[in-house]
Amino acid sequence: MAVPAALISSPSPSSTSLIGLCGFASARSSSALPRPIVALSRSSFSSGFANSGSFAVSSSPFTESNSFERYQRDSWLYKGATPPLPAPPLDPRSSGNNEDSAADGKEDDIAQQLPELKRLLELLREKSGSGAGGSPVGTVSLVGTGPGDPELLTLKAVRAIEGADLILYDRLVSHDVLQLVRPDARLLYVGKTAGYHSRTQEEIHQLLLNFAEAGANVVRLKGGDPLIFGRGGEEIDFLQQQGIRVKVIPGITSASGIAAELGIPLTHRGIANSIRFLTGHSRNGGTDPLFVAESAADPESTLVVYMGLSTLPFLAPRLISHGLLPETPAAAVERGTTPQQRVVFAELADLVNEVQVAGLVSPALIIIGKVVALSPFWPKFFEEVAVKSEAPSPAEQNCGLRVQ
């Protein structure tokens, strides 16, 4: 029997509170317990329960297409012109006029940027001595920035960012990471969201090529790892065919970073012997996810779905029909590893409804598999601790876990 959704950030006065979470929860038999559904914010992770009862969505830690931060960073592109006002976000319920308007705005935006882009190209060519008769000396580095927390950057990524002349960055590169860019370096937003691409992939290819040929040290910043659902392979292939040297600096992919944040071991002896990464996007932008083979519903494996929020209502029942048990533990994580992180834990059969009730938004990662129940934040862990005897065991005393 399912229990009503409970927010860990707003416990009732009579609810049991936990202090001093430590380690991973061990696998336990809990057939007599109610089915768990719980949502929590990142602040709950350090304090057990947060004091605030608010569940409002905080401002995004990433660069949204219509954000002030985007136009502030790109202001160098509009010298002598008036920067466009941020466009309102697309309404997915619209009939299509909204998309047409966004496309028109994008064309106007790019047209205003062209003079400064050309001027920058000329300056870089003069500085490097490339151009007519000159040989290209620039390089392109594809740099993964991890899931959002700047402390998860590699040292090599930091050095590449600090040494860049021009940075083309995606939507899922956090504001904190962009603070590392040199004051004299140029930033250009090339982010994509559902229904709005500030640049097509072909336009991004051409920008990388043109500036590398002009002798610039170009960094292509991508959230997570550039070669996991980041289209990094396409950019490498294009640039290498044009004779441009490409470096790849890996980042912590969202699956690893977010799982670690939640204390979920993606593999665990006797529980999960493999991991599968799946894109939740439809190839044609529809609501139906990409083909989900029966092998994706392996109960001995962990399934991690990237960008799967919009297609989750179709994905979850398909996984169950292919053989996953409805009570399979699952978690949906919004804006993982950032201060705005929010998490919904639920059994697979309940996940779609609870994600909708909590109002999770993109970007979100979904983890499905028995290992989710090993997280110290899995709600059954709380319930089992609450029914323990008041005399804590030596192990509990050692890690500071006690019931008040």
Q: Which residues are catalytic?
A: 170, 192, 307
Chain CA centroid to CA 69, Å: 18
Phi and psi at 12, nearest 5°, equal -75, 160
Determine contact, residues 45/398, Cβ cutoff 8 Å. no
Q: Rounded CA gap, 149 and 260, in Å?
A: 12
* Cα four-point dihedral sign 144, 146, 147, 148: negative
Instruction: Read off the amino acid at residue 153.
Output: L
Counting runs of H as helices and runs of E as strands, what totals does the chain give?
12, 16
Distance CA 330, CA 371 (A): 9
Structure tokens at 108: 């106007």
Q: Which residues of 371-393 are buried (b: 16+ CB within 10 A; e: fewer)?
A: bbbbbbbbbbbbebbeeeeeebe
Beta bridge partners of 268: 272
Query: How many angstroms separate the CA atoms of 101 and 373, rounded?
Result: 45
Distance of CA 199 to the CA centre of its chain: 20
Handedness of CA 187, 192, 198, 202 (dihedral sign): positive
Block residue for tokens 């605030």 = 52
In Å, what is the CA distance from 130 to each residue of 127, 164, 216, 316, 323? 8, 18, 10, 54, 60
Distance between CA atoms of 146 and 305, rounded to whole angstroms? Answer: 16
Angle between helices 312-321 and 348-358 (to 10 degrees): 170
Helix (H, G, I), strand (E, B) or coil at 164: coil
